[in-house]
Structure 1
């Protein structure tokens, strides 16, 4: 994968003491998205939409390669800004669970972040090509209006899983533009076939 919206991976190295392997990637000087939510929520809508555009653009590049990220959440999106830049640059990272679409034609064990995981996956079904990631993207959209992760005040347990599968979603934040709400709701639709693709979101 090669894209301006996807973190550059240079290779692997091994710690001689612990014998653990590490991935060598580009440095992002502002950390991950979750660490920046309180600042992002104060941005104007042009700034928010530009960041979201970068995120879904990178996601679209992944899907164009017939891949699914499978662990798409605010901890796996990094932010960087050089002194010469006027805006933050956003990168998708952590492809540890990324798999070809065809490998999810069978049922798949769940390993992601619960509030950002599509209901069909929580039910033990296979990841739906592209649209399971789009559900996760809707949670990032919501974070841009709230400044906090979804369901951050609740235990991430079986009860939350059941509630999500029954249709519970984060409460819409007051004064969120209706067009934004409409797209967000499409992205978190219960039916994965009714969610837009990443390419459609870009439009």
Structure 2
């Protein structure tokens, strides 16, 4: 949720990160009961101009969006970060790196053809699964905003809290 709130803030300031992945999320464990996650590494970030960003190929391959890889547009929206966040949700769920055993050419081809997405484990919560799939939708217009993502994560967290208490 912290990362979603951070991205919502960045997008409100017209900043697109372009390299959102777990490696660029820092967690402060000073208070173990309430870790705080911060978005880091703004080396590829860009300020939006008139709602679109001149993209070019930038980012880290498994987290890259089809629209950057296939060259269909030199202008992309902040929805590139939403796509990457969907992959981050998968990373958090599985504790694995996406497409770790695949060659780069196969990854590029699969993403460009809009057929390659990480396999979702059967134990995944249905709301989490739906959110991931919507984040990595091939059409950027179909991807939710970070405001919507943060709101949905807040609801999922509230539902999960009573389950945790009951399990203890």
Query: Under a length normalisation based on structure 2, what TM-score does the superposition of the two structures give?
Result: 0.82
Q: 1 or 2, which has the higher helix percentage? A: 2
- State whether structure 2 residue 91 is matched by structure 1 residue 137: no
| Alpha-carbon distance in 1 for matches of 2:57, 2:76 | 13
- Name which structure has the greater RCO, CA cutoff 8 Å, separation 6+: 2
| Alpha-carbon distance in 1 for matches of 2:40, 2:54 | 25
SS at match of 1:149: coil
Query: Under a length normalisation based on structure 1, what TM-score does the superposition of the two structures give?
Result: 0.68
Structure 1 position 88, deviation (Å)? 1.8
Hey, what does 2:96 align to over in structure 1?
Answer: 148
Structure 1, gaps ≥5 residues long: 1-52
Q: State the Cα deviation string for residues 104-143 of structure 1 (Å, max 9, x = none).
A: 8475331311000111111123353221100000001001
- State whether structure 2 residue 38 is matched by structure 1 residue 86: no
SS at match of 1:172: coil
Hey, what does 1:114 align to over in structure 2?
Answer: 61
Structure 1 residues 110, 88: CA separation in 2 closer, same or farther (over 3 Å shift)? Answer: same
The structure with the largest alpha-carbon Rg is 1
Give the 4+ runs in structure 1 shifted more than 4 A: 103-107
**Aligned residue pairs, count:** 149
* RMSD of aligned alpha carbons: 1.8
The one of 126, 136, 158 equivalent to 1:188 is 136
The one of 46, 61, 75 equivalent to 2:23 is 75
- State whether structure 2 residue 43 is matched by structure 1 residue 96: yes
SS at match of 1:102: coil
| Alpha-carbon distance in 1 for matches of 2:83, 2:75 | 11
| Alpha-carbon distance in 2 for matches of 1:108, 1:180 | 29
SS at match of 1:71: coil
| Alpha-carbon distance in 1 for matches of 2:76, 2:4 | 17
Structure 2, gaps ≥5 residues long: 152-168
